[in-house]
């Protein structure tokens, strides 16, 4: 971070020195800002490549790790609708994790695991969750849907938050079933936190017959409310020309269309568990409370738990603390009821053995 700031500072000094020659200060400043944006995408690509290597190091002892290039629907918003590539499918990468002792003659349950973030990616932040799932006998697909970071400016600006990225994730589910005979199409679960929780909810709303179970952790649930309590720099991510292009005030219907709390009428009863935390510093609990109330109004069963001030805030059940592990046991029990993995974890000792190379006595 310090190096990036220094680079920007010296770039500004050189630019200022050249202003008297160019005579166009505004143009020079815009050029500098574009250069910094390009540099940011270059750094993101490098970070992604490093993290890809770390995946093999951190889970390679128990899992096959692969990265596949697949596609989803065309962009929802074409800059040039008459261009020769207009209407082409959006291509993206997806991670696949399989148990190292996989027997291709058997059938395995599949977990679809979309990452979070307005612009984020699937990183080794999820290492222990992947290890815990793999050790139970799950196959995992984790798509780097449109708008994900680490793949350059063009992919970044394909973002469609709450829109066709949901379909990218669904396409990753379909890819696994179509290409791997050992994946059981009747045992597919989808789980995600934060924005991944939003994608999870929208998938079971739009494709209720194709997922047998779902978990949504601290899910982004109401984009209209979210635009109200977040700062303008956050709203700018949605108001960018290549994204929605308008504020929630100027196009409330579009933000509503992308919000799970305003789409619960599409819920058909997929076994669903929702977790939220009252001290979440990112997704305010009021969003998830709106979602819960909306789901209750539909009269269909689902499970939820509102945790009170659990340390960790937004990341409370993804951390490596004992409390977080205890909460993940609840998530895995919910999944196991429907997906029936070969080796479900039942207690902290089994969870520790499944997810961590070094064992702790409980």
Q: Nearest to residue 112, comparing CAs of 50, 218, 201, 222?
A: 201
Cα 315 → chain centroid: 13
Q: Identify which of 361, 331, 319, 326 has the alpha carbon closest to the alpha carbon of residue 347.
A: 326
Query: Residue 75 CB: number of other CB atoms within 10 A?
Result: 21
Residue 92 β-bridge partners: 70
The pTM for the full model equals 0.90
Structure tokens at 39: 């540099």
* 3 state SS of 166: helix
Q: Is 191 exposed, middle or buried (0-12, 13-18, 19+ CB in 10 A)?
A: buried
CA distances for 167 relative to 156, 160, 161, 272, 348, angstroms: 17, 10, 11, 19, 35
Instruction: Map tokens 């995600």 to a residue.
Output: 192
Q: What is the C-alpha R_g of the chain? A: 22
List pLDDT tens digits, range 229-271: 999 999 999 999 999 999 999 999 999 999 999 999 999 999 9
pLDDT tens, the chain, 362 aa long: 444 445 554 454 554 455 445 556 666 656 655 666 778 889 999 999 999 999 999 999 999 999 999 999 999 988 888 888 889 999 999 999 999 999 999 999 999 999 999 999 999 999 999 999 999 999 999 999 999 999 999 999 999 999 999 999 999 999 999 999 999 999 999 999 999 999 999 999 999 999 999 999 999 999 999 999 999 999 999 999 999 999 999 999 999 999 999 999 999 999 999 999 999 999 999 999 999 999 999 999 999 999 999 999 999 999 999 999 999 999 999 999 999 999 999 999 999 999 998 777 66
In angstroms, the CA 330 to CA 335 distance is 9
Residues 18, 23, 25, 26, CA torsion sign = negative
């Amino acid at each position: 971070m310090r190096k990036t700031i220094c680079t920007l500072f010296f770039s500004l000094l050189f630019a200022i020195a050249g202003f008297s020659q160019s005579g166009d200060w505004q143009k020079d400043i815009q050029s500098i800002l574009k250069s910094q944006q390009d540099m940011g995408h270059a750094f993101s690509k490098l970070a992604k490549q490093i993290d890809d290597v770390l995946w093999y190091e951190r889970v390679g002892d128990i899992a096959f790790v692969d990265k596949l290039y697949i596609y989803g629907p065309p962009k929802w918003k074409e800059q040039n609708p008459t261009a020769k590539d207009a209407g082409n499918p959006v291509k993206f990468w997806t991670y696949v994790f399989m148990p190292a002792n996989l027997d291709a003659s058997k059938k395995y349950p599949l977990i679809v695991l979309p990452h979070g973030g307005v612009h984020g990616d699937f990183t080794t932040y999820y290492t222990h969750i992947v290890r815990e799932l793999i050790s139970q006998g799950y196959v995992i697909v984790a798509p780097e849907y449109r708008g994900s970071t680490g793949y350059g400016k063009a992919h970044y600006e394909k973002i469609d938050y709450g829109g066709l990225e949901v379909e990218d994730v669904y396409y990753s589910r379909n890819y696994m079933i179509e290409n791997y005979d050992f994946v059981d199409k009747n045992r597919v679960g989808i789980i995600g936190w934060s924005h991944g929780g939003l994608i999870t909810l929208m998938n079971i709303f739009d494709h209720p017959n194709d997922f047998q179970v779902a978990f949504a952790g601290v899910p982004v649930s109401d984009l209209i409310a979210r635009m109200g309590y977040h700062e303008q720099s956050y709203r700018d991510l949605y108001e960018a020309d290549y994204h929605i292009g308008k504020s929630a005030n100027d196009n409330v219907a579009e933000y509503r269309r992308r919000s799970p709390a305003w789409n619960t009428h599409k819920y058909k009863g997929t076994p669903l568990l929702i977790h939220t935390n009252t001290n979440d510093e990112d997704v305010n609990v009021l969003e998830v409370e709106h979602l819960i109330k909306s789901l209750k109004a539909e009269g269909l069963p689902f499970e939820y738990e509102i945790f009170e001030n659990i340390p960790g805030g937004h990341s409370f059940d993804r951390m490596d603390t004992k409390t977080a592990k205890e909460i993940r046991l609840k998530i895995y029990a919910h999944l196991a009821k429907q997906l029936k993995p070969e080796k479900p974890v039942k207690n902290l000792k089994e969870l520790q053995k499944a997810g961590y190379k070094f064992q702790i006595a409980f």
